[in-house]
Amino acid sequence: MTTLEEAARLDAADELAAFRDRFVPIADESVVAYLDGNSLGRPLRATAERLQEVVAEQWGARLIRSWDERWLELPERIGDELGRVALGAAPGQTIVADSTSVCLYKVLRSAVALRPGRDEIVTDTANFPTDRFLVDSVAAELGLTVRWIESADGVAAVTGPRTAAVVLSHVDYRSAEIADLAGITRVVHERGGLAVWDLCHSVGSIPVALDADGADFAVGCTYKFLNAGPGAPAFLYVNARHHEAFGQPITGWMGAADTFGMAERYVPAPGIRRALSGTPPVLGMVGVQEGVALLAEAGIDRVRAKAVALGRWVLDLADEWLVPLGFTVASPREDARRGGHVTLRHPDAERLSRVLIDNGVLIDFRRPDGIRIGLSPLTTSFTEVRAAMDRIRELAA
């Protein structure tokens, strides 16, 4: 059933449909469908309103007094709420700071330091470039060896007494395949190593249970499914069992025990706050705060349920309309193994992607031949997806 009537029925039954009105409307009338929210989520109306209030009142009226009144506590306060709503993390383990790249550098250096005498880092060749580049950089800095695997499934074969840390993405940025976070973490721990997880393509899209699954460290961005805005600050998670020994390499004043003590030497703050370095980006954190609040209202389980349904819808449409035109499905067909997007392969994907974008279907091209259909449950409708797939069919024919 891939009819327009079926799309309308699915939209009518959608428990999250009303949340679309909470976002700034797309002003460009040429846009048929926005299916790139897994790269940059759409802006919230509440974020625009909050930014005006922060600039006019907190910054404009209260001026520097706002640091003591509310701003200094934002990284931890928002981090705790993010941990509660989306990460399965108890308070005091998650903090909003820096970019994903910087956060990953911090936790990877920390993980290796917690395993002295071990000289290998494991990651996969299909991991996101930032992750691979940083693993290489940290290994070069510290004289370590990188053990490359083809996918997360290869962890058990290469980890052992030399493994300091394993760095993997929870959801593959190309195929959307979900890694077994709990199972892999358990294997890494059995070999004495530490597990570092990149949650960029899972946070805000699928439930995560960092505490229950025993994760050691995690990082992630907030501008995809959390809709926090371009360049919004990232987050990092450090399991409480590591807090006493946890140290990070970018020791700035915000992570010091006495922020305004202007001490001669660095003394780390207790707990997760020691993960901070420089001054928190207050305006950027407004978007994170509003995105987390909206997710809390919608509920991560309802978000996941709709993501699954949208993925099935894309697969049905692709099988009927696009597979006969030379497309293949590169994402897992099993719901439990597929994240918040579906990737279609086509021999002429790069050229076709440009044509699609020029014709109002905003998708991502991922080398070598992937067209990534991003499914953001709080903004994407079934009718919108059908219109996009219909346009793809038309332009690819």
Residue 160 burial class via C-beta count within 10 angstroms: exposed 0-12, middle 13-18, buried 19 and up: middle
Q: Which of 14, 98, 198, 216 is catalytic?
A: 198
**Catalytic residue at 306?**
no
State the Cα torsion 84-73-95-277 to the nearest 10°: 180
Q: What is the mean pLDDT of the chain?
A: 98
For residue 173, indicate whether it is catalytic: no
Burial class (CB in 10 A: 0-12, 13-18, 19+), 15: exposed
Digit-coded pLDDT (tens) for 17-64: 999 999 999 999 999 999 999 999 999 999 999 999 999 999 999 999
**pLDDT tens column, 284-337:** 999 999 999 999 999 999 999 999 999 999 999 999 999 999 999 999 999 999
**238-294 pLDDT tens trace:** 999 999 999 999 999 999 999 999 999 999 999 999 999 999 999 999 999 999 999
Please write the tens of the pLDDT for every residue from 62-107.
999 999 999 999 999 999 999 999 999 999 999 999 999 999 999 9
pTM over the 0.85 mark = yes
pLDDT of residue 355 exceeding 90: yes
198 is catalytic: yes
Helices (H), 2-122: 4-12, 45-53, 65-69, 74-82, 100-113
Query: Given pLDDT bands bounded at 50, 70 and 90, which one contains residue 110?
Result: very high
pLDDT score, position 313: 98
Predicted confidence at residue 1, as pLDDT, reads 84
Tell me whether residue 237 is one of the annotated catalytic residues: no
Which residue out of 223, 246, 327, 382 is catalytically annotated? 223
Architecture, CATH, for domain 70-297: 3-Layer(aba) Sandwich (3.40)
Tokens of 331: 């994402």
CB burial of residue 12 (10 Å; 0-12, 13-18, 19+): exposed
Annotated catalytic, 372? yes
50, 106, 224, 338: which is the annotated catalytic residue?
A: 224
Of 22, 162, 372, 386, the active-site residue reads 372
CA distance 185 to 177: 17
Handedness of CA 145, 149, 151, 157 (dihedral sign): negative
| Same fold yes or no, 4-43+300-396 and 70-297 | no
Where exactly are the structural domains of the chain?
Answer: 4-43+300-396, 70-297
pLDDT digits (tens, 9 = 90+) for 142-153: 999 999 999 999
The pLDDT of residue 258 is 96
The CATH number assigned to the domain with range 4-43+300-396 reads 3.90.1150.10
From the list 11, 119, 128, 316, the catalytic residue is 128
